[in-house]
Amino acid sequence: MTVPAALPAPAAATPEEIARSSGSSFLVSFAFLGKERRRGLTAVYAFCRVVDDAVDECADPAEGAARLEGWRQELRQVYEGEPETEVGRALQAAAQRFGIAQSDLEHVVDGMAMDLEART
C-alpha cells in the first residue's frame, strides 16, 4: 500500500496495530464491546492517535501542518470517496455503520492544529 506523501510511514499500519503499539490502558475497555463496536472504536482511536502523532512527532511545525493536511484530505476521502490508508478505510466503515459525523472527526484535527500553533 502506498501512503500519501504528506503522511508518515506509520499511516500504513492497521488500526489494530496502531492501537496495540500505543500501550494505552484505555484499550482494555474495548474488550467488553461486541466485535463490530470494538472494530469501530479501534478505528476512531487509531485515527485520533495518528492525528496526534502527526503533530507530536514533528520537530518542524511546517511538517506537522503538512501531515495534518494529509489527514484532513484522508478524512474527506472517508466521507466522499476512497480513503488511501488502512485507518481511513476502517474509519469509513465505522462512520457508515455507527453514523459518526465528519464534523466530529474534523474537530479532532482542529484540536491537534491548535497544539501545533502553540509551538510556533
The confidence band for 105, taking pLDDT boundaries of 50, 70 and 90, is: very high
Residue 2 belongs to some domain of the structure: no
Residue 1 belongs to some domain of the structure: no
* Angle formed at CA 20 by CA 40 and CA 33, multiple of 5 degrees: 35
Separation between Cα atoms, residue 78 and residue 55, nearest integer Å: 21
Which CATH number belongs to the domain containing residue 19 in this structure?
1.10.600.10
pLDDT for the residue numbered 119: 58
* Average pLDDT across the chain, whole number: 86
Give the contacts of 86 (CB within 8 A, at least 6 positions apart).
Answer: 1, 12, 13, 14, 15
Residue 93 belongs to some domain of the structure: yes
Residue 85 belongs to some domain of the structure: yes
Question: Residue 92 above 90 pLDDT?
Answer: yes
Residue 48 belongs to some domain of the structure: yes
Q: Please tell me the pTM assigned to this model.
A: 0.85
The confidence band for 86, taking pLDDT boundaries of 50, 70 and 90, is: very high
Residue 111 belongs to some domain of the structure: yes
For cell 501531515, the residue is 67
For 48, the domain range is 9-119
How many domains are contained in the chain?
1
Please state which of the ranges 19-28, 51-60, 108-117 shows the lowest mean pLDDT: 19-28
pLDDT for the residue numbered 25: 74
Residue 99 belongs to some domain of the structure: yes
Residue 4 belongs to some domain of the structure: no
Question: Residue 9 above 60 pLDDT?
Answer: no
